[in-house]
Structures are given as structure tokens and as C-alpha cells.
Amino acid sequence: MAAVQSWACLLLWVGFAAQDKTPDAMVTCVISEECALPCSFQPGSKETIEWFRQEVMVYKFEREDGGSDSADSSEEEEFFEHEQVAGRASVFQKLISRGNATLILRRSSLKDRGTYRCHVLTSQGEHNAKVIVKVAAPIRALSLELSRLSGYEEMKCTAGGVFPAPRVSWATEPQTFVDLRPVTRIMADKQGLYALDSRLKRLDGQPDLVYICKVTTSYGGPDWTASLRERAIRGAAGRDLTLPCFAPPYLNTPFLLWSFSTGKDSAHILTYDSRSGASVSSPPWDEHVELDGFRVPFGDGSLRLMDPKQERHTGRYTCVFSLPHKTHTERSDVTIDDPAGERSSSEQPSYWWTVGLVLAGLVAALVGLLVYKKLKGGAAKTRKDPEEVMELHQVKDSPADGILTESSPLTVEGASGPSGQRTVGPPDGSQLT
């Protein structure tokens, strides 16, 4: 029986000890925002609440009489604030009688980091609790742009006002076997917040790659991802043109935004919400663009540009798929060419007509010269016919040799020489000497 009582007393003591020991609380405060340090106790009266940071008192609240939280109570209240939290610290006075001594810190900063201890003294006893406070500045935005300031094309990933120091990683889609070697700089400002600047040289010979920049923090906040693809597209005026835009597989049912820029001015084209299926386009683009809403939830946000004009529709088109903490951007530099013959000579005269006329004149002159030379050469050949040359030769040589031609009246028909040729002689038959 005595043994049973001893075990019962031991278990009861362990139970009370367990109730008195409160596990440490972990709180992460966001810079410039309000932060609550929890502390609860067994309600009583004549409460005295003290908060210590690194065993230095930073706040104290004391109520002398009673325990009522009503506005008509005559109790006296006093509080103390250390210069570190002056004007920023308070407790919910109306909740003290209910056992709530939570400390509220406004406009949190990096100086608020550390271990805090809540000490409460009431008519019912004493209570202590520890709170470990971390301070973080989460990523608010992540930017990924194509830069040419270094003399070559590089992807530039930036984020600012972050604590603790972020970590960055790069990837491509589709994945390449090239070793990516980004140059990353992380620097702290006067407030202790970090700025990230990471740059990756664009890979040669692979213009259609998607570059992905991923940034994380060590306090377990959400990861941020930004991806970018740049391309150049040419089209013809009056001919429909498709502007491609495809989201990476890690974006599920995203929000879609299309915009247009000429370098100075930017215009909204349309937006599409994949969850609701709602699409909103802005005039006058609603007459020139078409989007297949059934494809957007599956990552195809391609835009059809109808009847484009050279001056009005040449520029940069930007397509952005977005979800919380994730964005994918595709930029297309579009050039709309004017087909040959579409503009009249009166609207835009061209010197090529003059050049064409001059060349046609030169060709005609050359052809005429060749024809003239050919005709001249043919006439000369006709005058030098072999039979005509022989007759002229016989006429020229007859008076000198004493030989008469067949047309001479001295010609005797039927006589022939030894060679069968006809010869002529005197009428008396004598032979010429």
C-alpha cells in the first residue's frame, strides 16, 4: 500500500513539473511589419508582466488592484519601455485577466532578433516562457531580363531587400549539357538587407532556350522562380501571324497577360484567367488579335495577329504567365514587312524604277549592236563567194595571156584541147603562138 502511494505521489509531481515547463516558442517576424510574441499564464489578480530580451528588461506592465478589464475599474496601471522598443511595444491589456500576456512589436527590424523571456507574477503564482525571435525580409519580387550592357547578351536575375542572404540557381528548358557558370553578387545595404544580382551569359547557337532563375532563402519562405525566352519574328502586312507563347510545365492554370511596346509606350492587349476562363482585351487590339482560351490552361497562350499593318504592329510583344512566386515571360520582337507592290509609286517613289529603265536601255543598245555586226559580217561573206571570185579572176587575166572567154566571137564550139577543155584559135585553124 505504501509503495502504491509513493508511485502516485511521484506521478503527481512529474505531472506538475510538466505543466510548469513550457516549450520554447519560435517566431519569425517580417521586417517593417507587426509581430506577436505569445505568452499565456494561469489567470489571477494583481498581474505584473515583464518581458526580457537577452535578460535585459525591455517592457513591463503592472496592475496594482483588482483584476477587472472594465473601463470603470479604479485600478492603477504602470508600464515601462526600453529605448530599443520605445513606442513599438505593447500588450493587450483587456486580455490580461484572461491569461494572455502576448507582446506586440510594431515595425519589426533586424535589431529585434534574439531570445525573449516572458515573466508573469500574479496572486496565483509565477510563470515563465521563452520565445526565440527570428527576423526575415522575404522576396517581394524577382526580375529576369536580357541585358547587353557587358558587350554580349546575358540573362540578368535581380531581387532586393531580402534577409537572410538568398541563394540562386540557374537552369534551362530544355536542359542542356553545357556547364552553366553564372556570376552572382550578393551585397548588404545599411539596414542589413541583401540585394541579389546574378548574371548568366546567353548560350551561343541556341536562340530558343528558356532560361530559369530560382531564388530561395534559408528561413523556409516560398521559393521564387522567373523564366524568360526571347525570339525574333518576321511577318508580312495583311497576312495573319501567330505569336507563340508556351508556359513551362511547373506552371499550372496560370494567369496570362499580353502587352505591346514600341520602345517608349506600352499598351495592354489582353488578359486571361485560366481559373475562371475570363478574357479581357483592349481596343483597338480586340479587332486584330485572337486567343484560344481552351489551350491556355494547358500552357499554350499563343496569340493570333490578324491583318497586321507595318507601322502599327511592328514592335515588341510580351507574354507573361504568372502564379504566386512564379512567372514565365516570352518576348517576341516582331517586324511586319510591306510586300512588294503594295505601295504605289505616288505614295513612296523608288529609285529602282530609274535604275530598271537605264538597264533596259543598255540591254537594248547592246542587242542592236550585236545584230548590226552579225548582218555586216553576213554581207561580207556573200561578196566573197568562190565562183564569183573565179569569174573575176578569169576576166582580169584574159587580155594579158591572149586567151578569150567563151563569150568572145572567136570561140569555136566543139573543139577541145587535150584535157577536154574547149580552146579557141584563128579562123583558119592555125595555132596561136
User: At the fourth CATH level, which superfamily is domain 230-339?
Assistant: Immunoglobulins (2.60.40.10)
Inform me whether the pLDDT recorded for 252 exceeds 70: yes
The beta strand positions in 202-308, using DSSP E, are: 210-216, 224-236, 241-243, 255-261, 266-273, 278-281, 289-291, 303-305
What pTM value is reported for the model?
A: 0.68
Antiparallel, parallel or unpaired: β 241-243 and 114-122: unpaired
pLDDT the model gives residue 340: 59
Q: What angle do CA 181, 321, 290 make, to 5 degrees?
A: 130
Q: Which residue has the higher pLDDT, 216 or 347?
A: 216
22-136, what's its fold?
Immunoglobulin-like (2.60.40)
Q: According to CATH, where is 2.60.40.10 located in the chain?
A: 22-136, 138-222, 230-339
Q: Are 55 and 38 in contact (CB under 8 A)?
A: no
Antiparallel, parallel or unpaired: β 326-337 and 224-236: parallel
Q: Which residue has the higher pLDDT, 325 or 397?
A: 325
pLDDT the model gives residue 76: 60
Inform me whether the pLDDT recorded for 296 exceeds 80: yes
Q: Are 134 and 109 in contact (CB under 8 A)?
A: no
CATH assignment, 138-222: 2.60.40.10
Q: What percent of the chain has pLDDT over 90?
A: 54
Inform me whether the pLDDT recorded for 129 exceeds 80: yes
Q: Are 131 and 36 in contact (CB under 8 A)?
A: no
Q: What percent of the chain has pLDDT over 70?
A: 75
Least confident of 8-22, 183-197, 239-253, 373-387: 8-22
pLDDT in tens, 373-426: 777 766 555 555 555 445 444 544 544 444 333 433 333 344 334 444 444 444
